[in-house]
Amino acid sequence: MTVYINAISGLTPFGNLDQTWKGITDNKVCYSELRKFPWDKYTRSKVAGEVKFNAEDYSSISERDREKMPEYMQWALASAQELLDGKELNKERTGVLVSSSLSMYLETIRANAKNVDNTFTFTPNMISNNINIQYGFTGPSTMTSSACSTGMYSVIIGCMLIETGQADNIIAGAFDNSVAPDSYKQFGKLRALSTKFNNTPEKASRPWDTKRDGLVLSEGGAMFLLSNEKTPETLAEISGYSMTNDAYQVVAPHPEGAMIEKCIKDTLNGHIPDLINAHATSTPMGDYIEIDALNRLGLQDVWVTANKSQIGHLMGAAGAMELALSVLSLKHGAITPSLNIDYLEDGYNIKYTPTTKNYMVDSVLCNSFGFGGANASILLSKT
């Protein structure tokens, strides 16, 4: 059974998905100096991608929701409103699998610190259940948390629910608001954040560049309407997917990248894509392992893009947003740029563009690799 993507929505520090695409194709970045809290108390990195969001712009978010609901859940409700505008779905045959990774843990920490007595509203599955309650969907509903691969895992599991007949439609995606003191403290301890570009924050996220020194935390997310039915509004079909695990370490990918290679190979099943949307976090080890796996599979002549060079790392929502941007590459015939690559690392045999390139894109491979060795790849194709 073929699973189709019939609608997409989302937000980043650029704005909604349309504004994000414009920022991306205008060759801009959406991260800058961290302003949400006094950075020097928690971290040596003062770069962040911060979402500017007005909940009052969305009828789906009540005044009570604005007061009680965590911000990332509000983003999910707002994106659901945009996604479902004008859609008539069978409520009994529609499920929801919208997820989060870091945000749900941060929210628990915040609630405990404030001695909040209604912490049940922060249980992880509420990000999906809020959408069910709002729209009356009674199909399968859950969430998953797989570190940086959370968004991609949500889409893949959504595909499985449709393929096994559990639902006709699945609303899938992920949202994270990770720009918070605790996340900066923890990632700082891991030395995972960029600190060398505090005075030029727009240059901080630089996958594949010799001067890269860590990732840039950002926030937002994306959402998809998956369906077993092709419609005039269909944007893409999901032609392949795979999930593997390194079974190696909590924070480091396996240096040989065998399970990353297998994940990509199983997803492609012999197909050569026109574009690869790389995980490319701007960390020394992670960048190399992915490129090495792609080269071993003979994909060195395929165009590759690194969205995190423009939007930073949305953590659990990164794969969801990058998958949405991959859909838009199919729709608009464009290869998105990879910025801040002044000197490409030696041995990185890749084909990229520093500015948006018009190109007939018929298929895109999208990769996400998370802490704990959680790997996910999805192949998108034009219909």
Residue positions annotated with a catalytic role: 148, 279, 313
Q: Measure CA 234 to chain center.
A: 21
Specify the pairing of strand 47-48 against strand 374-381: unpaired
Query: With the C-alpha atoms ordered 258, 261, 267, 269, is the resulting torsion angle positive or negative?
Result: negative
DSSP track, 153-167: HHHHHHHHHHHTTS-
Count the residues in the chain.
383
Residue 40, class by beta-carbon neighbours within 10 Å (0-12 exposed, 13-18 middle, 19+ buried)? exposed
- The answer to whether the CB of 343 falls within 8 A of the CB of 209 is yes
Provide the phi-psi class of 282: left if phi over 0, else alpha when psi is between -120 and 50, else beta: left
- At position 270, the amino acid (one-letter code) is G
List the alpha helices (DSSP H) in 120-180: 126-135, 150-163
Pairwise CA distance, residues 18 & 328, whole Å: 10
Dihedral pair phi/psi, residue 143, rounded to 5°: -150, 165
Q: Is residue 324 a contact partner of residue 10, using CB atoms and an 8 Å limit?
A: yes
Instruction: Check residue 300 and report its DSSP letter.
Output: T
Give the pairing type, strands 94-99 and 47-48: unpaired
User: What is the DSSP annotation of 13-59?
Assistant: TTEEHHHHHHHHHTT----EE--SS-GGGT-S--EE------GGG-T
Tokens in use for 176? 């994270």
Please state, as a whole number, how many other Cβ atoms lie within 10 Å of the Cβ of residue 295. Answer: 15
Instruction: Judge whether 287 and 212 are in contact, CB under 8 Å.
Output: yes
From CA 135, how far away is CA 129, in angstroms rounded?
Answer: 10
